[in-house]
Structure 1
Amino acid sequence: PPATSPSADDLRRTFPAERKGPNGTVGEGSWWGSAWIDALEESALDPARLARGRDYAGHGRVDAVTVTPGRVLAYVHGSRPRPYRAKISLPTFTDEEWDRFLDAAAAQPGHIAALLDREMPRSLADCGVPLLPAPGELHPECSCPDSGRPCKHAAALCYRTARLLDEDPFVLLLLRGRGERGLLAELSRRNATLAARSGAASTAARMPGVRAREALAPRVLPPLPRPQPPLPHPEQPPAYPAAPGGPDPFALDQLATDAAARAHALLATGEDPVAELSLWQDAVRIAAARPGSGLTGTSRAQYESLAAAAGRTATDLARAVAAWRQGGREGLAVLEEPWDPPAGRFDQARPVLRAAEFPPFTPHRNRLTHPEGTLQLRLGRDGLWYAYESEPGRDDWWPRGTPDHDPIGALTALAGGEA
């Protein structure tokens, strides 16, 4: 039995009516709240009544809910003006069952911490005491004339109760017979008892102490030794063997090599060279570091994994990798971020191209497009021109060549000098 008698207000909790949810739905909740709903639905005789009850709960037809040991009670609005009185009953624990439950909860400090965070650990729910209701343990009652088991009003109350359990597992413990304050006090007492027994049984020597006056006395500490100079280059990681069903050893090697290079740069300069990259930029950087180009049989799996993590497609990643290899972070910005350059170099590029006997390029923002739609120049914020190619009529632009301060130089290798 508990060390102190529970107070009446600890054994009665009232929750206000819930407003109508989005689209009138109840929503997904915790695993223990779902177990409560499973116990209801597995013993229900009419799925249609359950569906009506879920709809009632989702549309806020359940008034304030009162929870006491072994019972949850509320008025539910149906089709008639006067609401119906619905009740769900659940067997409470015996003193022996409570002793087993409390011993299991106090044995691991993590259990108490989880309960305080309004979480129910599975290990605690499976400690040998049937905390979660089994099919047939929930007994619905209602003042309406419907003889269904449960009727839609009792089902609505049950779904509303599941929401309360999601938010606070102490509601389930109250239904099993104990209130929150009494439970926490008893858990604290048992935890202290276990700690005292553990301390008495321990034969380990106590740590030597020091007087507070001595610990807080001002003193001059010797200077710290100079740090060791960093290695001239990061070392190679160990080889990762391939295993059936395991991760790609090449991908692991690439990630480990990249982490070693970043750590080496951080030790040498105090700065992480990729700390300011977004998730997408870092995915592009990692994929660009892999040898080869385009989507091949060996690279497709890694491209798809990296692209999915950033919410993009493998084709998006392949195009971005080409831009990164063309100009690094600035090259990727040229691919994805059109901008309006000021008057000057951009306006001077068209007469320069005409003087080199290229046809008139069509300007749009920072881009100049060949009239045949197969070549394009993009001016980056770094003042370099980036060349792009596309199949005729497809508007599918891919980075090509090397950036150049001169638009003719950026195009020459691609256009072959032809107009």
Structure 2
Amino acid sequence: MTKRKSEPSFDYDDYDYGYFPAWRPIKVEGGIQSRSQRGAFAANWWAKRWLSVLDSYGIGSRLQRGRSYARSGQVLNVDVQPGLVKARVQGSRPKPYNVEIQVSALPDKEWERVLDTISEQAIFAAQLLDGTMPQEIETAFEAARVSLFPTSTRDLVTKCSCPDDSNPCKHIAAVYYLLGEQFDHDPFLIFTLRGRTREQVIEALRKRRAAAVVEINEESVSIEIEFPTVSLNDQIVNFWGSDTFNWIAPQIIAPKLIMLCCVV
């Protein structure tokens, strides 16, 4: 008896207005496999904040399939650029799908205001150099009247070359989850997405700190103590006396402010 070829299963999707075949994705080697194989993708607060925007889409089953794609290594590569993320995701067709996630990069003037605020808080710079995102870092962005993280789906533009009409699709969701995991280990990628690389942020903070030190040195005051002039004869007579060297004292330089911390 000839075995009948199995037909693809069909799943209903609220955001596709009908039914579509749920083909199995083509397995690939060398894909980016998430570190998380169960439970939450993000451990730190900044990565959780990023993923919360994806959850706000309310795309249900596509989130679940996106997590499955991320954990099974279907994402081939992820490239984070200022204001743009590009990735390729292997789906059920031979040719991988191209995914783009666009986030508005902050203008230079807004970044300058943000960096000015950060440099005024030494703890911010210390934590950032230690690879930790300060939880209060958002206050620096709020002072510049901007947000570090996307606050809603309106702040993102997502594209995928797959035939799914829903946006975001499972391929976009997979890339979004992997980004959250990458943000966990390198919070500076969030800055990159908003328009400034790690090197640019650190260099800007160093320049501001160096300028502050120069200003303090220029404003330092010299306190000089006047001592009476003693003749050579009196010095010889009193050499072994109680007044010996009482008139000798160093010049004292007193800065107005002592820097207790610096940026390495």
Give the TM-score range, shorter chain.
0.5 to 0.7
- The C-alpha deviation readout for 1:60-110, integer Å capped at 9, x for no partner, is 211121111110111112222321111111000011210111111211222
Alignment correspondent of 1:177:
195
The answer to whether residue 123 in structure 2 is matched with residue 110 in structure 1 is: yes
TM-score by length of 1: 0.43
The answer to whether residue 55 in structure 2 is matched with residue 41 in structure 1 is: yes
Alignment correspondent of 2:242:
none
**The one of 141, 148, 156 aligned to 1:131:** 148
Q: Which runs of 5+ in 1 are unaligned?
A: 1-15, 210-419
**Retained in 1: the 8 A contact 2:34–2:178?**
no
Alignment correspondent of 1:381:
none
Give the direction of change, closer, same or farther, for the CA distance of 1:59–1:186 in structure 2 (3 Å limit).
same
User: How far apart are residue 195 of structure 1 and its match?
Assistant: 2.7
Alignment correspondent of 1:144:
162
**The one of 104, 122, 132 aligned to 1:119:** 132
Amino acid at match of 1:92: A
Give the direction of change, closer, same or farther, for the CA distance of 1:122–1:77 in structure 2 (3 Å limit).
same
Amino acid at match of 1:140: T
Residues in 1 aligned to 2:196 and 2:136: alpha-carbon distance in whole angstroms: 20
1:276-355 counterparts in 2 under 5 A? none
Alignment correspondent of 2:4:
none
Aligned residues: 193
Residues in 1 aligned to 2:36 and 2:51: alpha-carbon distance in whole angstroms: 20
Residues in 1 aligned to 2:102 and 2:222: alpha-carbon distance in whole angstroms: 51
Residues in 2 aligned to 1:141 and 1:70: alpha-carbon distance in whole angstroms: 14
User: How far apart are residue 204 of structure 1 and its match?
Assistant: 8.5
User: How far apart are residue 18 of structure 1 and its match?
Assistant: 2.8
**The one of 36, 39, 43 aligned to 1:29:** 43
Secondary structure of the corresponding residue to residue 86 of structure 1:
strand
Alignment correspondent of 2:175:
157
**Retained in 2: the 8 A contact 1:24–1:59?**
no
The answer to whether residue 208 in structure 2 is matched with residue 190 in structure 1 is: yes
**Retained in 2: the 8 A contact 1:104–1:124?**
no
The answer to whether residue 101 in structure 2 is matched with residue 88 in structure 1 is: yes
- The C-alpha deviation readout for 1:336-361, integer Å capped at 9, x for no partner, is xxxxxxxxxxxxxxxxxxxxxxxxxx
- The C-alpha deviation readout for 1:287-320, integer Å capped at 9, x for no partner, is xxxxxxxxxxxxxxxxxxxxxxxxxxxxxxxxxx
Amino acid at match of 1:37: L
Which contiguous aligned blocks of 4+ residues in structure 1 show a shift greater than 6 angstroms? none
Give the direction of change, closer, same or farther, for the CA distance of 1:28–1:68 in structure 2 (3 Å limit).
closer
Give the direction of change, closer, same or farther, for the CA distance of 1:85–1:185 in structure 2 (3 Å limit).
same
Residues in 2 aligned to 1:20 and 1:193: alpha-carbon distance in whole angstroms: 42
**Retained in 1: the 8 A contact 2:82–2:195?**
yes
Residues in 2 aligned to 1:100 and 1:19: alpha-carbon distance in whole angstroms: 38
Residues in 2 aligned to 1:53 and 1:61: alpha-carbon distance in whole angstroms: 10
**Retained in 2: the 8 A contact 1:70–1:177?**
yes
Which is greater in Rg? 1
**Retained in 2: the 8 A contact 1:40–1:138?**
no
When structure 1 is superposed on structure 2, of 147-156 and 120-129 the one drifting more is 120-129
**Retained in 2: the 8 A contact 1:71–1:87?**
yes
The answer to whether residue 66 in structure 2 is matched with residue 53 in structure 1 is: yes
**Larger helix share, 1 or 2:** 1
**The one of 79, 83, 97 aligned to 1:70:** 83
- The C-alpha deviation readout for 1:231-250, integer Å capped at 9, x for no partner, is xxxxxxxxxxxxxxxxxxxx
1:15-26 counterparts in 2 under 5 A? 17-19=31-33, 21=35, 23=37
User: How far apart are residue 23 of structure 1 and its match?
Assistant: 3.8
